[in-house]
Amino acid sequence: MLADVWCYMSLLDNWNLVSRMTVPRCRHNSLVYDGKLYTIGGLGVSGNLDHVER
């Protein structure tokens, strides 16, 4: 389970670490809205998560 946020740069064929979430999670959904990345829900260390990180 990670808190890292990575961005894939296809022209360079590499991944860059861009940020860290406050709560490590997996099995989440993400979306971009108004130029910001939102991560929704997922599974945390203690179980299901029901909040959003921006």
Over the stretch 3-48, which tens digit does the pLDDT of each residue have?
Answer: 999 999 999 999 999 999 999 999 999 999 999 999 999 999 999 9
Q: How confident is the model at residue 1, as a pLDDT?
A: 87
The full 3-state SS of 1-44, as one line of letters, equals: CEEEEEEEECCCCEEEEEEEEEEEEECCEEEEECCEEEEECCEE
Q: What are the structure tokens assigned to 48, written together? A: 């299901």
